[in-house]
Amino acid sequence: MDILSKLEILADAAKYDASCASSGTEARNSLKSGGIGSTDPGMGICHSYTPDGRCISLLKILLTNFCLYECAYCVNRTSSNVPRARFTVDEVATLTMEFYKRNYIEGLFLSSGIFKNADYTMEQVVAVARKLRLEHRFNGYIHLKTIPEASPELLAEAGLYADRLSINVELPTEKSLNRLAPEKNARSITRSMARLGSGIEEYKESKKHARKQGNKKLVAPKFSPSGQSTQMIIGADDSNDSAVLRKANQLYQSFKMKRVYYSAFSPIPDSSSQLPLQAPPLVREHRLYQADWLLRFYGFGIDELTETANTNKTTGMLSLDLDPKLAWAINHREQFPIDLNKADYERVLRVPGIGVINARRLISQRKVRAIRYQDLSKLRLPLEKIKYFVQTIDYRPDSVRLESANFARLFVNNTDQQMSLF
Amino acid sequence: MYSITANSFGEWRNAARTLLGAGISPQAVHWQSDQQAGLFDSCNLESIAANKQASASPTLTVPAQFISQAKKASCFIDINKPNEKWAVLYSLLWRIRHIDKHTLLLKSDPEVQALQRMSKAVNRDKHKMKAFVRFKCVNEDESQRDRYYTAWFEPAHAIMELTAPFFVQRFTSMNWSILTPHGCAHWNQSQLTLSPGIERPEIKEDQYDEFWRAYYCNIFNPARLKEQAMQSEMPKKYWKYLPEATCIKDLSRSAAAAVDNMVQSGTTNSERVRTSSKSVAGFQDKLRSRNRE
Ligand code: SF4
C-alpha cells in the first residue's frame, strides 16, 4: 500500500480523538539547540481549521488501526469493517518532518491500535519519537498516546521524548468500561495514570530544586514536560453530567491532569449494536467544557457544579439552554448584584458574561477611577446578560426582575437552540 | 505646527525624544511619512532641539509595556489614516510623561484603546502569519542540506521583521525565503537578511501539498460540521496560501451525506469476528478474564 493511502486510512482512524493541543510545554528553540523546530510555553499554533471548526495543530495519526480490542465506541475495534493499514516507524517520522518543514503542523500526536500485545505496540510508538528526537533532531511538539498495560520502562522512555503523554479513561465509570471496552482495565488505567503523574511531578520538582541550587546537573531525566491529559466519551453510556464532572474532578485532583477532554461519541462507520442509536447533542459536550473551565479557572467547587446540574429538573444534566455559570447565577441570585467597584476578583468572576481577562481589566481600571456603567460597554461586555447582575457607581439593576419567578426565561434564546441531525 | 516625518518605530522614537525634550505638545505636531513627502516641509529635528534648548537629560523612562505596544503599533497599516498611529503614540507618550504615568491603565480611554487595538491587530496578524505561511520546496531533487524553501504571504500589517525571529528559531536548519509585499526575509541556516517587499511571485505546488490535503480531508469529522466556526478562525482571505483550502467546499457539501451513510450502514455485532477467528477470541478472552479477577 502506498503512503498516501495509508495516510488517508490512519488519519481517518484518528479523528475521533478530541485533543490536538500543543500548548504548555517548555520553550525550545532550534537556534540554540540546532535541528528543526521550536515550542512555546504558552499556546501552540493552529495551522489550519477543518470545516468542523476544529483546530489542526498536530499531525494526528495512528501507527496502525489494526486492533485486537473490542471497544464498542471505536471505529478501529476488531469487528469493525473498515480498511486497515499500518505505517512503519520511518514513514511516520518522515511524514512528520516533511509536514513540519512546510509549516503545516506544530508536531505529532501518535496513537495506535493494539497489535500483537501492549509492549510491542508501545515499543513501536516510542521508536517513532526516539527517531524524531535523536536522528532528525526534531524540537517540535510530540504527544504520545500511552498504552496503560505497557511496561514502566517504556513509559519512562516515552516521557523522555514526549511533551505530553495521555491515557484515555474512556468512560466515567468502571462498570461502563467493563461493558463497552471489555479488554480494557480500569485499574491498570489508574495505575498508569498515577505513574505518569508522579513521573511528571518528579521531573518538575527536580527542575525547581536544580534552579534553587543553581546546578543544572540535578535535573532528572526529562519526563513529559507538558503533563498528561485524558479523554472521556460522553453519551455512550448513561452517566449523567454530574457523574462525568465528578470523575473529571477526581482525575484533576489525583493525577494533576492538564486537561480532560470530553468527546461526545460520534456516529462512526459500522458502529456497534451495543451503542445508543442517537449521538448526544454536541452542545452537551460544550456545556461540559464550560463547566470544566469553571472548575479549573473560575474557582467553582465541584459541588457547586453538580448542584447546578442536579437542580436542572433533577436530571443531573447541565442545562442545554443556559451556560453553567449563568445557570449557577440564576440559582443563586440572592448573591447578586455584585458591586464592580468593591467586590474582590473572585466575586467579579462570578458575574455571567465577565471572563478572566475582563475581570482583571475591571480591577486594574478601578484602581485609577471608579467604574461606571458606560465603561462596561466600552469594554464590550455583553450588557444584555450582565445588566441583571452588576452594580456600578451610577447603576443598579432592577431588583424586581432579578427576583421574578421566571427570571431564567429572559436568557433562553430560541434561535440559539442546538440543531440535531434529522 | 511642526511637520515630522516617521517611517518606522526607530524614526518615530528619535523624533518623539526630541519633541518631548523641547516641550512641544502633541497638538503642535503634524506627522507624515515619506510616501506623502512634499505635502508639508518636514522640520529639522536638530533645529528643534537647538532652538528650544532641550532639557539637559535626554534619558526617558516609560512603562515597558508602552514600548512593546508602540513597537507593534508602528507596524500597523491603515491606508486611510497612515500617520494616525504616530500621533496617538506621541500623545500617549506626552500624557505618560506630563499628566499621569498610569495613563495606560485607563482601559476605556480612546487613545489607550487605539493603542490596544493597533497592537492587538498586529499581534493577531503575526499570529496568523506564523500559522498560515506555507513553505514550498523549490528543489526537491537536492540533498536535504541544500534544499531551499520559499513562501509567499500578504500580512495586513508590515510585520515581516517582527515575525522573522520566530521562523529563524523554528526552521533553523533549513534554507528559506519568506516573501511579502512589505518586506522579505531570507535565512541560509546561519544568517538572516531582510530585503524590500515584492509583488506576488509565481509559486509552484510542493509534492507534500497532496499529502497534506489528504490528511486534512480525512481528519475532518463530517458529523460535526461547523463551517462558521472554521471561517472565523481561518477567514477566506487566507485560503489562497493553504493547499488544503481547495477541499473545504466539497467536504462541507458532502458532510450530511457522509453522516447519513454512516447511520444507514447499520451496526455490527461484536461477536462477528470472535466467532470467525479463534486466535482473536482467545486473546480477548484472556484479557477479559484478567479484568474480572
Ligand atoms: S484499544 Fe479500543 S479504543 Fe483503542 S484502538 Fe483499539 S478498539 Fe479502539
Instruction: Retrieve residue A55's grid coordinates.
Output: 483546530
Residue length of chain B: 293
Q: Is the pLDDT reported for residue B56 higher than 80? A: no
Which element (helix H / strand E) includes A96?
helix A89-101
**Ligand 1 contact, A113 CB (< 6 A):** yes
Q: Are A132 and A91 in contact (CB under 8 A)?
A: no
Locate all alpha helices (DSSP H) within A256-352, ordered by sequence: 282-297, 302-311, 324-331, 345-349
Q: What digits encode the pLDDT tens for the residues A260-277?
A: 999 888 777 777 777 777
CA distance A368 to A380: 19
Q: Please enumerate in sequence order all residues whose Cβ is within 8 A of that of B228, keeping only pairs 6 or more positions apart, or say none.
A: A53
Q: What digits encode the pLDDT tens for the residues B214-257?
A: 999 998 877 777 778 788 888 888 888 898 888 888 888 888 78
pLDDT grade, residue B51 (50/70/90)?
Answer: low
- Tally of CB atoms within 10 A around A35: 18
Q: What digits encode the pLDDT tens for the residues A322-333?
A: 889 999 998 888
Q: What digits encode the pLDDT tens for the residues A209-231?
A: 998 888 888 888 889 988 999 99
- pLDDT score for A315: 85
In terms of pLDDT, which residue wins out, B57 or A183?
A183
Q: At what angle are helices A89-101 and A3-12 packed, to 10 degrees? A: 90
pLDDT grade, residue A416 (50/70/90)?
Answer: very low
Q: What digits encode the pLDDT tens for the residues A149-171?
A: 899 999 999 999 999 999 999 99
**Ligand 1 contact, A171 CB (< 6 A):** no
In terms of pLDDT, which residue wins out, A345 or B290?
A345
CB contact under 8 A, A421 and B259: yes
What average pLDDT does chain A have? 88
State the nearest Cα–Cα gap between A185 and chain B, in angstroms. Answer: 6
The residue whose CA is least distant from atom 1 of ligand 1 is A69
CA distance B256 to A52: 12
- pLDDT score for B285: 87
- pLDDT score for B41: 60
- For B72, B73, B123, B275, the CA distances from B117, given in Å and listed in that order, are 10, 9, 10, 65
CB contact under 8 A, B267 and A70: no
pLDDT grade, residue A334 (50/70/90)?
Answer: confident
pLDDT grade, residue A421 (50/70/90)?
Answer: very low
Q: What digits encode the pLDDT tens for the residues A166-211?
A: 999 999 999 999 989 989 999 989 999 999 999 999 999 999 899 8
- Give the number of C-alpha atoms closer than 13 A to the C-alpha of residue A290, restricted to the C-beta side: 22
Q: What digits encode the pLDDT tens for the residues A69-128?
A: 989 888 898 888 889 999 999 999 999 999 999 999 999 999 999 988 899 999 999 999
pLDDT grade, residue A418 (50/70/90)?
Answer: very low
Q: What digits encode the pLDDT tens for the residues A352-407?
A: 999 999 999 899 888 888 999 998 988 889 888 888 899 999 998 877 776 776 77
In chain B, where the domains are located: 2-127, 133-195, 211-264
Q: At what angle are helices A324-331 and A302-311 packed, to 10 degrees? A: 80
CB contact under 8 A, A272 and B130: no
CB contact under 8 A, A270 and B268: yes
Q: Is the pLDDT reported for residue A283 higher than 60? A: yes
**Ligand 1 contact, A279 CB (< 6 A):** no
Q: Is the pLDDT reported for residue B266 higher than 70? A: no
Ordered domains of chain A (ranges, CATH): 3-280 (3.20.20), 302-421 (no CATH)
pLDDT grade, residue B259 (50/70/90)?
Answer: confident
CA distance A153 to A226: 20
CA distance A20 to A43: 12
DSSP states along B103-144: GGG-TTSHHHHHHHHHHHHHHHHHHHHHHH---EES-TTS-G
- pLDDT score for A235: 87
Q: Is the pLDDT reported for residue A254 higher than 60? A: yes
Q: Are B197 and B181 in contact (CB under 8 A)?
A: yes
Q: Is the pLDDT reported for residue A345 higher than 50? A: yes
**Ligand 1 contact, A144 CB (< 6 A):** no
Which of residues 245 through 264 in chain B touch A, CB cutoff 8 A?
A: 248, 251-252, 255, 259, 261-263
